[in-house]
Structure 1
Amino acid sequence: MNIDFITRLRHILSHYALSPSLFADQIGVPRSSMSHLLSGRNKPSLDFVLKIIDKFPDVDLYWLLKGRGSFPSKMESNPSSPLTGDLSSIKSSVMDTKKIDRVIVFYEDGTFESYNPSK
């Protein structure tokens, strides 16, 4: 399992264009943990796997552990999810009922900026 897990983990890193260090930072694990996993020195803990699933909902648990299923997981199965619509429909439905407090932009290098339109 360990080698297949490593291959799938590398696929996740490639898909999100993250270095192992940035990925470790994103899921909240020490960078050395990523190094040890990718080298085959250590096996993934349940906590490590759950952190990946929590941070990256496109990662299917069974695909990550056993290679069954797909990655990224198919989000089309829930048509009522706002993630499947285009941005204009999301914007209009949100703007009709709520005021925007803050917008956060995340960059590929792991940094982010926060904008407060009402201030």
Structure 2
Amino acid sequence: MKFSKQLQKIMQHFGLSTTELAEKILVPKATISHLISERNKPSLEFIMKLHTTFPTLNLEWLIYEKEPFLITDIYQNQTEKDQTETTVLNEILEVKTMNEIEKEDQIKIESEESESKNINQNITENQENILSFQSKEIDCIVIFYNDGSFKKYNP
């Protein structure tokens, strides 16, 4: 695309006439006319004035004709890309988190089952101890005092 077409696109986008553009960027009207008619090529100073006056213009588009035309389009495309990447990352993290929660739940269930087995085993052992204790007769009872003395009782 020739610079004359780029300049016309800028004027159309911002709704400016040749005179209005010249006044805005502080150049003679003839400069704009010569650029549009392709009599002259833009100077670096002219491009800098355009970019300073219209900071949303993509400088790479002005110099190299590299799309997009406006910087806001670059940010919008980057923002959309970032949002897509963020969404994908969030989905991955959500799946990972769900897997971790499932693993934690499974570990908790296994721990509770193990604890339940231990409790049942202890109850069974205590019942056996109580039954074996009940079948025996007491021979004597000894009480120890904190002063080192003791007393023995025989039934």
Question: Same fold by TM-score, threshold 0.5 exceeded?
Answer: yes
Give the superposition deviation at 1:66: 1.5
Match of 2:48 in 1: 50
CA distance in 1, matches of 2:66, 2:24: 25
Match of 2:65 in 1: 67
Task: State the TM-score, normalized to the length of structure 1.
Answer: 0.59
> What is the aligned partner in structure 1 of residue 32 from structure 2?
34
The residue identity in structure 2 corresponding to 1:57 is: P
Displacement over 6 Å in runs of 4+: none
Structure 2 Cα separation of the partners of residues 22 and 35 of structure 1: 12
- Aligned match of 1:14: 12
Q: How big is the alpha-carbon RMSD for the aligned residues of Structure 1 and Structure 2?
A: 1.7
Which protein is bigger by CA-based radius of gyration? 2
Give the C-alpha shift of residue 71 in structure 1.
Answer: 1.8
Separation in 1 of the partners of 2:9 and 2:39? 19
Aligned length: 76
| Structure 1, unpaired ranges of 5+ | 79-119
1:65 Cα shift? 1.6
Contact residue 3 and residue 35 of structure 2 kept, 8 A = no
Greater share of residues in helix: 2
Q: Deviations over 1:39-58 (max 9, x none)?
A: 01111111100000000011
| Mean Cα deviation higher: 63-72 or 49-58 | 63-72
TM-score (ref. length: structure 2):
0.46
Identity %: 37
What is the distance in 2 between the residues matched to 1:72 and 1:61? 9
Q: Find the aligned partners of 2:28 and 2:70 in 1 and give their Cα distance.
A: 25
d(CA) in 2 for partners of 1:9, 1:65: 12
Give 1:69 shift: 2.9
